[in-house]
Amino acid sequence: MLPVASVVLSFFVILGLIRWKIPIGLAMLAGAIISAIGGGLFGGQMFEVAFITFTSSTTWELALTIGFVSALGKIMEKAGLLTLLIESLQKIIRDARIIMVILPSLIGMLMFPGGAILSAPMIGELGSMQKMNSAEKTFANLMFRHLLHLIFPLIPSMILASQLARVNPLGIVAFNFPLALVAFFVSFYILFRGRGRGKNKNYEGLNRVSLLNLLKALGPMLLAIILGLVFDIYFPLALGAGIMLVYFYLWLEKKLPFFRYIVFLFKSVNWNIFLAIFPIIYFKDVLEVGGAVEQVAIFFQKQGIPLPFLMIFVPFIGGFFTGSNTANIGISFPLLLPMFPMDNYIIYVGFAYLSGVVGYLVSPVHLCLILTKDYFKCEVGKLYQFFLVPNAAVMIAATVLFLVLR
């Protein structure tokens, strides 16, 4: 019973520490220590597990992948590729509604914490043309940005989930793709019903220059995805190739000295997320070595709690209370993954990931929500009125899909 109690305690300690703005890595380390003691791991045994974690090639691959992903987005922004991307879209796409959908999503690919504020001014301008109120603008900026979390394989939380689950991220994408379409069409209908397509004053039509600029702006990420997921090249190297492509653009324009690129890379890495990977994996390893997960599974079975309920509820709560899907994956997946049946494993993984995204999206401590709400001076209650229908529709559709595939 002690291992079960320690796991439950560690879960709530991690949630509480993150809510108190303690770095994710320190919160996960505290949870790992509690779980280790509850699982009968003391002193030397705890250090043995830590050594295994720190020297694991899987741990380092994941940490480097997350670090390079965060750096790639920042470097692209500093190189002016974000501005180029926005300008190209505005020249190519006539319908202002489509720009309102695509713009937050593509900016979301750059994976800045609180990055929704980057697209807010443009969403505000386009929304005013559509006579939208503050709640509608806030909803558009948040919903369309975070749909990408379901289907974009370079999102840090998806990378972490796929590594912990030992599955190809495209498997998670495959499960969530039809659900992302449900969320998109429901959200699009809610926002634009009764509204015309709007006029994009920057529209010039499809031309060679705009198309090449769009490909140039998206090139580094497309290169990383193709090398890493299609050709199965070691993912940090694939991301490194994307970073080198951005550096090649900069070299052609500015001819900066070599050391400047090294400093640029160092400053662009999100070190908080990079360093958090080690305690996240340590937490997982402690649960496995101490046998806590098996005892937790037995406990839930004896209590008659169905696994699908845990699959939905635990990640949703994790995402909702932390406001970070990366933190949620680090907390919930080590607990849930050993319980999932192997014959339907990817379905359970995909649904658990989806539940975490929904909880994270609607979390009142979600940084993007806070910044966007304040930017548009939107009342939280009115925003949640818009959130309710598409998120409920996604969860219902996911349940139906899960039952059909299972």
CA distances from 382 to 8, 171, 331, 359 (A): 34, 35, 31, 18
CB atoms within 10 A of CB 54: 12
Render pLDDT for 182-234 as a digit per residue (tens, 0 to 9).
Answer: 999 999 999 998 877 667 677 777 788 888 998 999 899 999 989 998 898 99
DSSP, collapsed to helix, strand or coil, labels residue 344 as helix
CB atoms within 10 A of CB 150: 25
Whether the predicted pLDDT of 112 surpasses 70: no
Report CA 199 to chain centroid distance, whole Å: 32
Distance between CA atoms of residues 361 and 118, nearest Å: 17
Give the model's pLDDT for residue 203. 77
DSSP-derived letter for residue 364 is: T
- Report which listed range, 15-19, 75-79, 206-210, 326-330, is most confident: 326-330
Residues 307/347, Cβ–Cβ less than 8 Å: no
DSSP-derived letter for residue 323 is: S
Query: Quick one: tokens of 156?
Result: 């840090």
- Residue 149 CB burial class (10 angstroms; 0-12, 13-18, ≥19): buried
CA distances from 273 to 166, 226, 280, 328, 406 (A): 20, 24, 10, 13, 34
Query: Quick one: tokens of 248?
Result: 């090649």
- The phi and psi torsions of 203 (rounded to 5 degrees) equal -65, 130
Give residue 42's region: left, alpha or beta (phi > 0; psi -120 to 50).
Answer: beta
Residues 14/265, Cβ–Cβ less than 8 Å: no
Average pLDDT over the chain, rounded to an integer: 88
What percentage of the chain carries pLDDT values higher than 90? 47
Render pLDDT for 353-390 as a digit per residue (tens, 0 to 9).
Answer: 999 999 999 998 888 888 898 999 998 889 999 999 99
Structural element, H or E, at residue 341? none
Angle, CA of 281, 283 and 287, to the nearest 5°: 115
Give the pLDDT band (50/70/90) at residue 114. low
Handedness of CA 163, 149, 175, 215 (dihedral sign): negative
Give the model's pLDDT for residue 317. 92
pTM for this one? Answer: 0.88
DSSP-derived letter for residue 244 is: H
Give residue 194's region: left, alpha or beta (phi > 0; psi -120 to 50).
Answer: left
DSSP, collapsed to helix, strand or coil, labels residue 340 as coil
DSSP, collapsed to helix, strand or coil, labels residue 199 as strand
- Closest Cα to residue 163, out of 347, 334, 14, 344? 334
Owner of token pair 């994976």: 111
Report CA 179 to chain centroid distance, whole Å: 16
Query: Quick one: tokens of 102?
Result: 């695509």
Give the pLDDT band (50/70/90) at residue 1. low
